[in-house]
């Protein structure tokens, strides 16, 4: 098995998903992964990006097996936050960003007590 398809299968297993679900979700033929394995090939970047997004993994890791610079340096809490973010629908992401923006505005509007003098 190629490293590329190993990584796909490993992530699918972790998430208790099937190859067929991945293929259907990103719009590729059901036997695509088996073909890549047999030929020892990797699909184009557009397909790899769809796979990475579906699996919630970094594009670079999917292709090379190496962690991306910043992705590998995230704390556990940041990784959990990122994982949760990836599970949200687009409209939910917009709502979360709006809440964060409001929070930061109200925080910036407060004047620290020690700066008044």
Domain 3-69, CATH number (from 1.20.1260.10, 1.10.260.40, 1.10.15.40, 1.10.287.70): 1.10.260.40
Q: How far apart, in whole angstroms, are the C-alpha atoms of residue 63 and residue 22? A: 17
For the chain, which residues make up each domain, given as ranges? 3-69, 74-109
pLDDT in tens, 59-69: 888 998 887 65
For 47, residues 6+ apart whose C-beta sits below 8 A from its C-beta are 26, 28
Q: What is the mean pLDDT of each run of 10 residues along the chain (117 residues)?
A: 85 92 94 92 92 91 76 70 86 90 83 55
Decide: 63 and 42 in contact? Cβ < 8 Å.
yes
For 90, residues 6+ apart whose C-beta sits below 8 A from its C-beta are none
């Amino acid at each position: 098995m190629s490293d590329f398809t190993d990584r796909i299968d490993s992530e699918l297993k972790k998430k208790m998903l099937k190859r067929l679900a991945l293929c259907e979700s990103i719009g590729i033929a059901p036997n695509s992964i088996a073909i890549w394995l047999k030929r020892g090939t990797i699909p184009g970047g557009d397909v790899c990006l769809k796979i990475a997004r579906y699996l919630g993994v970094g594009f670079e890791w999917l292709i090379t097996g190496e962690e991306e610079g910043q992705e590998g340096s995230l704390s556990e809490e940041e990784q959990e936050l990122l994982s949760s973010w990836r599970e949200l629908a687009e409209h939910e992401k917009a709502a979360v960003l709006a809440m964060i923006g409001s929070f930061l505005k109200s925080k910036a509007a407060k004047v620290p007590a020690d700066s008044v003098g």
